[in-house]
Structure 1
Amino acid sequence: MSGDAERIRAHVEDCADCAEELGRLREAVHRLDGPPAAPAKGARRGADKVGRGRLMAAARAARTGHDAPAAHAAPYAAAVASLEALLRELDGTPARWGTPVVHDWDVQGTVAHLIAADEPLAERLGMLPVTRAEAGGTGDAAPWEVRWAARTEEVVAYEHTRPPTETAEAWWTQAHGLLDLPEARAEEPASLPTALMGKRLPVADHYVIRAFETWIHTRDIGRALGLTVPSPPPVHLQRLVALAVRIVDLALGDGTRPVLLGVEGAAGGDWVLGPAAEPVAAELVLDAVDLCLLVGGRLTPQEVSRGQAGDAAAAQHVLATAASLAWL
């Protein structure tokens, strides 16, 4: 065992959170890997070692130390490791890359979409584009939703001219490039605000958004392939939930009656949404994962399980606002 692996093992033995996460990752790898497949020609790594490599990479991302991502980037590191594990399932079955996933994207198109979705943060932080897809003429003055949709369409169309393994390689290169930046390794450089996708937030929050979207689309791919993708561990889900609640609160607008939102589970908490000076008009209780799926556009207000009391219209307004934020 290398010295690096020895340090990981020692840390996991002393850290309950990392031990729990490592257990989840082991379970996910066992479910997703199946029997070992023969290495594909031109694969970027030895396929016979990729399962162990993924597990160790994920453990390395979860540990403390100078090589580990900072807390704000750890959920993204884990989401990237999860998608890597899922794409490994496609080794030896190239036809499955064409499985329909979401919107009009197949598996390859969904991975290509993630390339396009990660690209604004990567470029803002000084990285070069990983795809040669030519940019269209929407212009910087167009609304971000228009520019985002156009860029996704360009990248998806371009990546479909290439082998799926090259699309996966491009996504992997960009994702790990983001995780290698100083903004992913330390809190101070990630504290500076920047405007991306219509939101001016600290860079740290944009890393959480990247984690959110990567997990949602990994889940989409898993469901399309008939595989279960674990939810983020509580320590990461807490960050996704806290950011989702903050963005929903900002989006509620004037005239909103305050609602006490309780999020259940280890990743949960209680928040008052709306004007703090007014009395609470309603109480709403949601599961942490359900809240994220609502904000991510994977559950509707009618589908989400909830506890509710008080002013039904005020509670419904919170649910409708959360659902309206979905762009995934």
Structure 2
Amino acid sequence: MTNDHDGVRELLAAWAVGALPPGDDRTVPLHLAGCESCATEAERLRHTVRLLDGGPSDGRPPASALNGSADGALAMALRSRGPRTPGVAPHAAPYAAAVAGLQALIPELDGRWGTPVVHDWDAHATVAHLIAADEHLAVALGVASRLPASHIPDGTSAGDAWDRRTADVIAHEHTRTPEETVATWAAQAAALLATPEARDTELAARAITVMDLRLPIADHFVIRAFEAWIHTDDIGRALGLPVPPPPDEHLDQLVRLAVRILGLALHDAPPVLFEVTGPTDSSWVLGSGDDPVIAELTLDPVDFCLLVGGRYAPAEVPRGETGDAGAVRNVLRTAAALSWL
């Protein structure tokens, strides 16, 4: 339970999204009543959440939605955010929607936090992993880390450092309650969405390196959206609850970024005409530009994202294909190899 000034300021983002840990939900409002500077910052953060949410100011879905099916609540949370959500730039809108989707699913985990989800993680560890995953971008944009630092030796590869930080965060969060872990994740997400780079496309055009991947900040926000949605889907599957895909325009952003990265990995491969059907309905030639296309591959956008996210084996993803089977297999295997989730 926190009532000191600095401690309360660290909890303001959690307050803005209605995710304060037990006890602090009483002391923080009392502090805000007597501290003008904290109250001003709290209202700024809550205004950000209100604009992102398009609903109640506490950042939660309406109670009427949660009284229905989980699918209905998730669909509302994910589909109600258009790419032009006030207060956030289009590149950050998919992340805002993915955060809202997981928040809508959280109540379904009551009493089920030990459910195995993915890898060797239960639901609690999966949310803890998202804290570690989002932290890399958050810290790069000036958001202070909310967790103890990891002791990672100099010269550690980016992949090993990623794994070590995730393991440390999961171990730390397993000493806390799931409610405290959710509060930390939600507060960090709200702070990330309140950064200037989440609101300004020009600022987000600046390239930064996050986990050895140098991309515009806007693309890093899309990657955060991708991972948040994938793990929300993981949790939904573990609970036996359907999680709807991102809205069409958000899904298009995920697909296009994944295709760009896949194209770089296949720059000198035998060229394949790759088509993503559905609302995106786009096609690209992946591979060498000096040779004729020798095969065609067609995927559904959600299936493509699940393949890139490591949730489909290359041979198992539903697809249409013609031409050179080896060239198609190369595209599918390269796409699956991109996964770090």
Q: C-alpha displacement at 1:194, in angstroms? A: 0.9
Residue 98 (structure 2) aligns with:
79
Q: Distance in 2 between matches of 1:266 and 1:28?
A: 28
1:273-306: CA deviations, max 9, x gaps?
A: 1122321111000110011000000001111011
Runs (5+) with no aligned partner, structure 1 = 13-25, 35-50
Give the length in aligned residue pairs.
Answer: 283
Q: Distance in 1 between matches of 2:329 and 2:212?
A: 24
The percent of aligned pairs where both chains have the same amino acid is 53
The alignment partner of 2:321 has SS state of: strand
Q: Distance in 2 between matches of 1:220 and 1:106?
A: 10
Structure 2 residue 241 is matched with structure 1 residue 221:
no
Residue 244 (structure 2) aligns with:
230
Q: C-alpha displacement at 1:56, in angstroms? A: 8.2
The alignment partner of 1:89 has SS state of: helix
Q: C-alpha displacement at 1:57, in angstroms? A: 10
How much is the aligned-residue C-alpha RMSD, in angstroms? Answer: 2.7
Counterparts in 2 of 1:154-173, with a 5 A limit?
Answer: 154-173=168-187
* CA contact 1:238–1:268 (8 Å) conserved in 2: no
The alignment partner of 1:84 has SS state of: helix
Q: Distance in 1 between matches of 2:259 and 2:178?
A: 36
TM-score, length of structure 1 as denominator length: 0.80
Residue of 280, 291, 314 corresponding to 2:304: 291
Q: C-alpha displacement at 1:29, in angstroms? A: 8.0
Residue 62 (structure 1) aligns with:
82
Q: Distance in 1 between matches of 2:285 and 2:215?
A: 21
* CA contact 2:71–2:241 (8 Å) conserved in 1: no
Residue 117 (structure 2) aligns with:
101
Structure 2 residue 339 is matched with structure 1 residue 326:
yes
Runs (5+) with no aligned partner, structure 2 = 1-46, 56-63
TM-score, length of structure 2 as denominator length: 0.77
Structure 2 residue 148 is matched with structure 1 residue 148:
no
Q: Distance in 1 between matches of 2:71 and 2:296?
A: 43
| Counterpart residue type for residue 265 of structure 1 | G
* CA contact 2:83–2:250 (8 Å) conserved in 1: no
| Counterpart residue type for residue 210 of structure 1 | R
1:249-293: CA deviations, max 9, x gaps?
A: 111243x11110000100231011112232111100011001100
Residue of 110, 114, 135 corresponding to 1:119: 135
Structure 2 residue 134 is matched with structure 1 residue 129:
no
Q: Distance in 1 between matches of 2:167 and 2:317?
A: 30
The alignment partner of 2:113 has SS state of: helix
Residue of 301, 309, 319 corresponding to 1:306: 319
